[in-house]
Amino acid sequence: MQARYSRWDDTQDPFGPDLSAGELLEEISEDVLSGLGAEGALSRLLRRGMQGSFNGLDALRSRLRERRAREQANLDLAGPLEELRERLDDIVDRERSTLSFRAEDDARTREAFLDALPPDVPGRVGELSDYRFVDAEAQEAFDELMEHLREQVMGAYFRSMAEGMRSMSSEDLARFRDMLAELNRMIEQRERGEPYDFDGFMQRYGDFFPGNPRTLDELLEQMAARMAAMSRLLASMSPQERAELRALAEQVLQDMDLAFEVDRLGSNLASAFPDLSWGEPALAGGDEQMPLSATIDAMERLHDLEELERSLRGDYPGASIDDVDEESLRDALGEDAVADLRRLKEIERALEQAGLVSRERGRLEVTPKGARKMGERALVRVFEHLRRDREGVHEAREAGGLAEPTGSTRPWRFGDSGQIAVQRSVFNAVARGGPGGRVQLEPDDLELLEAEQRTEAATALLLDLSFSMPLRGHDVHAKKMALALHALIEGRYPHDTLYLIGFSDYARQMQPRELAATGWERVYGTNMHHAFNLAGRLLSQHPRATRQVIMVTDGEPTAHLEGDHAKFNWPPIPKTIRLTLAEASKLARAGVTLNVFMLEDSPGLIGFMERLAELTAGRIFLMDDRELGTFVLRDFVRRRAS
């Protein structure tokens, strides 16, 4: 197997050929229809991911927490002091061993001096700095320890500074001190709103900064992260350890004549970057000793992991998935995590480019095309369910039942059925193959005879939107059915008409995309009276069509219209029942067929529906909401073809 690699340039498809924008929309459709809206549904998809396609933010955070736990488990906060203490003990023991073989009084005096050394590391370093060792190897080891200590302290405060400390002359050290002084002045000038010369500073001192920062902020951010890590290490130690390490660092910096400028820089950076975890303790549980600079490296990595987890969590004002830094994620979890992040970042753009969602006034909303696509996907699922049933869609592919040819043809599309236009199909094959060749039909050559429907149907779909529907978990299945029915009629019965009417305290005509709106109608009332009235007015515009009402509800009527106002009562009052039945009877007398699908079986609802069926000769079905879409669409197709 061969593989090619190239740098990401925003032209690649992060989802590949196996995942389309339509499938992404289908993945969030249930959350959209449950009232979360496009924004909330997309947020949930980003968190959970898509099984078999990409991981979500929650999975990345889980891996990140595991990585942070491993980092903490390896971190020994006392390690830097223990390392120095052990090296000092070895040096002193070597000196004692040499002194024990000498009989002169000076040897006993030196032994007394070593016995009186303070127990803490900075105290021992301070005392031994003026001591001349008798043992040459002990002296050499102590000198190396002091060089190591200077490297570690400098490395603890300044990244990449430790490596050059051995070769730094007194002139280099003075230049470094001048650099810190000028950097402090530049920070303070900026804080006062005064001009400063960053480019000139970099020309003079750029060799101290191998990362080649391009702005003062970039330079300071690197330095601030390092100093903040040092402050966290100090805060994480016991009071005794903290006092020792602080005294040791101050002692080394004072010896190098850098203490004042370093302290000044720390104060300036803490003021400039207050959001860094200055002085915030960190957990640790390791016992592997590391030098001071390496321990600060680990503290920085911990901070980076914490910041990365925070950006993945996104629980701060203005949070966005674009805040997640790819390089940090790559360092923490590897290339596969970056690939998942890129897919997550592309979801909204993929949906927008496909025209399925759009941002309007800062809010993400499903477009009319998106609502239509959701209906088509729901329709596909219904047909998959019906595939084993010959009563399904296969006998009724011609729109509107009996049809007559119009004389026109159209290209065949996968899934179409109908009469093949033989002459036109053969002509296409000949034209494609050219003269003299063997004629061989291919799918793209096929054309079907266009058929015109002799009849037209008008349907009013009445959808209960009262608060009890989402409360009982019926709303998603009902909305999916409505979108699928809309897609069926629009795609296969283009001469038919579907009116979508939502009703709660009032009834209103709706567009399919409104079913994907955020939230629920937190109102009381199931105003079937108004819904039947509105359906009658809309269906009256189609006097020659086959007309029907399909109503989906989970409750009996609890509201009616009086003038322009809705009157709500629970339990239902006789007037509400009487007016609702009268409006339904008016529809039946006008030749409109009523089909009612009940999603609950309360005694009051069953009693009302029995009376409704008796007065209108309508059909009443008690349905499991999970089968609602399958039954309604199958029934519509069967009746439409009859």
Domain ranges of the chain: 79-281, 403-453, 457-641
299: left (phi over 0), alpha (psi -120 to 50) or beta: alpha
Q: Which residues are bridge partners to 568 per DSSP?
A: 559
The chain-wide mean pLDDT, for the chain, equals 83
Tokens of 62: 């889980």
| Strands 49-50, 54-55: pairing kind | antiparallel
The Cα–Cα gap between 261 and 180 comes to 6
Mean pLDDT of 408-431: 80
Burial 157-183 (b: 16+ CB within 10 A, else e): bbbebbeebeebeeeeeeebbebbebb
For CA atoms 559, 562, 563, 565, give the dihedral sign.
negative
Given a cut of 90, whether residue 479 has pLDDT beyond it is no
What's the mean pLDDT in 530-543?
Answer: 94
- Nearest Cα to 552, choosing from 485, 611, 474, 483? 474
Alpha carbon distance 499, 489 (integer Å): 11
Q: Within 10 A of 589 (CB to CB), how many other CB atoms are there?
A: 9
Q: How many Å apart are CA 496 and CA 398, to the nearest integer?
A: 13
Residue 632: the pLDDT is 80
Who contacts 307 (Cβ-Cβ below 8 Å, separation ≥6)?
Answer: 328
Q: Which residue has the tokens 């990365």?
A: 308
Write the CA distances from 159 to 76, 151, 172, 230, integer angstroms.
Answer: 20, 11, 17, 11
Lookup: tokens for 437: 């060749």
Identify the residue with better confidence: 18 or 317: 317
- 457-464 vs 447-453, strand pairing mode: unpaired
135: exposed, middle or buried (C-beta count within 10 Å: 0-12, 13-18, 19+)?
Answer: middle
DSSP state of 119: S
The dihedral sign for the CA sequence 406, 411, 413, 419 = positive
Specify whether the CB–CB gap between 186 and 216 falls below 8 A. yes
Find which of 15-29, 460-474, 583-597 is predicted with most confidence, using mean pLDDT.
Answer: 583-597
> CA nearest 495: which of 398, 587, 368?
398
Which of these, 469, 457, 483, lies nearest to 629 by C-alpha position?
483
Q: Report the distance separating Cα 215 and Cα 229, nearest Å.
A: 22
Weakest mean pLDDT among 110-114, 123-127, 286-290, 609-613: 286-290
Q: How far apart are CA 183 and CA 261, in angstroms?
A: 9
Q: What is the value of pTM for the model shown?
A: 0.66
* pLDDT higher than 70, residue 21: yes
Q: Which two structure tokens, joined as six digits, stand for 510?
A: 């709706």
Q: Give the whole-angstrom CA distance, residue 108 versus residue 111.
A: 5
pLDDT of residue 15: 56
256-280 core/surface letters (b: 16 or more CB in 10 A; e: else)? bebeebbebbbebbbebbeebbbee
Residue 442: the pLDDT is: 85
* pLDDT for residue 401: 42
User: Could you give the C-alpha distances from 594 to 278, 478, 535, 537, 591, in angstroms and in order?
Assistant: 71, 17, 11, 15, 10
How sure is the predictor about 398, in pLDDT bands with cuts at 50, 70 and 90? Answer: very low
Q: What is the DSSP letter of 87?
A: H
CA distance 491 to 357: 21
pLDDT band at 201 (very low <50, low <70, confident <90, very high): very high
Look at residue 204 and tell me whether its pLDDT is greater than 60.
yes
**What are the two backbone dihedrals, phi and then psi, of residue 366, each rounded to the nearest 5 degrees?**
-75, 135
Distance CA 117, CA 129 (A): 12
Q: Is 307 helix (H, G, I), strand (E, B) or coil?
A: helix
- Is 80 exceeded by the pLDDT of residue 407? no
Going by pLDDT thresholds of 50, 70 and 90, the confidence category of residue 375 is confident
Q: Which residues of 410-434 are buried (b: 16+ CB within 10 A; e: fewer)?
A: eebeeeeebebbeebbeebbeeeee
Please enumerate in sequence order all residues whose Cβ is within 8 A of that of 166, keeping only pairs 6 or more positions apart, or say none. Answer: 147, 151
Mean pLDDT of 487-507: 88
pLDDT above 90 as % of the chain: 26
* pLDDT of res. 400: 40
Q: What is the pLDDT of residue 415?
A: 65
Please name which of 129, 122, 239, 261 lies closest in space to residue 185, comparing C-alpha atoms. 261
* Mean pLDDT on 128-136: 91
Q: How far apart are CA 335 and CA 449, in angstroms?
A: 54
Give me the pLDDT at residue 451, please.
64
Of the ranges 122-136, 144-158, 546-560, which one carries the lowest mean pLDDT score? 144-158
Q: Are 236 and 77 in contact (CB under 8 A)?
A: yes
Q: Say how many CA atoms lie within 13 Å of 199 toward its Cβ.
A: 1
**E strand map for 44-174:** 49-50, 54-55
Write down the pLDDT at residue 434: 75
Residue 388 pLDDT level (bands cut at 50, 70, 90) = very low
Q: Is the pLDDT score of 162 beyond 80?
A: no
- Over residues 335-353, the pLDDT tens digits come to 999 999 998 888 888 888 8
Q: What is the pLDDT of residue 93?
A: 93
pLDDT over threshold 60, residue 392: no
Share of the chain above pLDDT 70, in %: 88
Q: Mean pLDDT across the stretch 160-171?
A: 62
Confirm if 286 and 75 have CB atoms less than 8 A apart: yes
Judged by average pLDDT, the poorest of 24-28, 304-308, 356-360, 410-414 is 410-414
pLDDT tens per residue across span 542-585: 998 889 999 999 889 999 999 889 999 988 999 999 999 999 99
What is the pLDDT confidence band of residue 393, given thresholds at 50, 70 and 90?
very low
pLDDT at 385: 57
User: At which residue do the structure tokens 């009445």 appear?
Assistant: 462
Residue 288: pLDDT band by 50, 70, 90 thresholds? low
The CATH code that applies to domain 457-641 is 3.40.50.410
Closest CA to 91 of 124, 42, 130, 45: 124
